[in-house]
């Protein structure tokens, strides 16, 4: 048996999310179907992040074991030949037998994209939340900085969720307009469109609660619209109640950009 680590990119528009469901097509089920055909047996695939329906990925990571002897480059081609064009394996490598895409991850990096203009670019309609009316990106940036660090994010968890602990650590949390983002030289650029209509929220953390990022973004937009002061983000955190936070931002603006691993993984 050989263990593999693959990096997967997908347009989540037409899928029910990463995790296999009783109905609907998931990214996990597509990969397992392709691997079943390739290895002539059922293969279980573990993903680093369980992206929701409509959420996209550029750097999702998955792991699995195969009985068949196959080179990583051949595996990449074989999987892509069996997957729909909206899902691509962009890299494959052999991993230690103990490697697990989810449990070995030390950092996940997400981006949420907001198109802030009266008219939505047709090239952004499936990949950004269209918010009309001016947004104060500076205030949003200041509010996002207030939630960095290890904190209790119960207020930003999806209503009705049952989680053992709502403590999570955010290594970075920042909001920038696209023009500022490009001047900063970030390697996480994801846009065919230029100018200041695009606002991005970049967040890196050890892990995230269900709908946590989308609930944070919904709250940041309330601040950007001037409906709430910057300090309100701290009050929401301290209140630990979902009802105190802003609305849930739509899924199609969210992208899993990358997953980082420690020295123990290849």
CB atoms within 10 A of CB 7: 21
Nearest-angstrom CA–CA distance, 132 and 29: 37
* CATH 3.30.70.660 domain locations along the chain: 105-260
pLDDT tens profile 74-110: 999 999 999 999 999 999 999 999 999 999 999 999 9
* Closest residue by Cα to residue 209 from 110, 83, 73, 104: 110
What global pTM score does this model have? 0.90
Judge whether residue 216 has pLDDT over 60. Answer: yes
Nearest-angstrom CA–CA distance, 243 and 155: 7
High-pLDDT (> 90) share of the chain, %: 87
Taken in order 132, 142, 212, 187, is the CA torsion positive or negative? positive
Catalytic residue chosen out of the listed positions 11, 37, 39, 52? 52
Judge whether residue 244 has pLDDT over 70. Answer: yes
For 105-260, give the CATH class: alpha beta
- Residue 266's pLDDT is 35
CA dihedral 244, 221, 164, 96 (to 10 degrees): 180
52 is catalytic: yes
- Residue pair 104/265 in contact (Cβ under 8 Å)? The answer is yes
Judge whether residue 160 has pLDDT over 50. Answer: yes
CATH architecture of 2-103: 2-Layer Sandwich (3.30)
* CATH 3.30.70.580 domain locations along the chain: 2-103
* Closest residue by Cα to residue 45 from 95, 5, 104, 97: 5
- Residue pair 36/20 in contact (Cβ under 8 Å)? The answer is no
């Amino acid at each position: 048996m050989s263990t593999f680590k693959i990096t997967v990119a997908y347009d989540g528009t037409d899928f029910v999310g990463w995790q296999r469901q009783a109905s609907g097509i998931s990214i996990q089920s597509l990969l397992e179907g392709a691997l079943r055909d390739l290895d002539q047996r059922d293969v279980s695939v573990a993903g680093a992040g369980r992206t929701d329906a409509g959420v996209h990925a550029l750097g999702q990571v998955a792991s699995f074991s195969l009985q068949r002897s196959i080179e990583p480059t051949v595996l990449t081609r074989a999987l892509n030949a069996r997957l729909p064009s909206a899902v691509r394996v962009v890299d494959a490598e052999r991993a230690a037998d103990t490697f697990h895409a989810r449990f070995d991850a030390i950092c996940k990096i997400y981006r949420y994209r907001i198109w802030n203009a009266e008219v939505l670019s047709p090239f952004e309609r499936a990949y950004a939340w269209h918010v009309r009316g001016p947004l104060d990106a500076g205030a949003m940036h200041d509010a996002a900085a207030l939630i960095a660090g290890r904190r209790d994010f119960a207020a930003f968890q999806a209503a009705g969720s049952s989680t053992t602990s709502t403590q999570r650590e955010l290594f970075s949390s920042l909001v920038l307009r696209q023009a500022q983002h490009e001047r900063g030289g970030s390697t996480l650029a994801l846009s065919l469109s230029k100018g200041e209509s695009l606002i991005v929220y970049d967040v890196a953390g050890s892990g995230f609660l269900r709908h946590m990022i989308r609930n944070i973004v919904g709250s940041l937009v309330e601040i950007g619209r001037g409906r709430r002061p910057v300090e309100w983000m701290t009050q929401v955190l301290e209140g630990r109640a979902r009802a105190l936070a802003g609305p849930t931002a739509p899924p199609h603006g969210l992208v899993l950009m990358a997953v980082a691993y420690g020295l123990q993984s290849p």
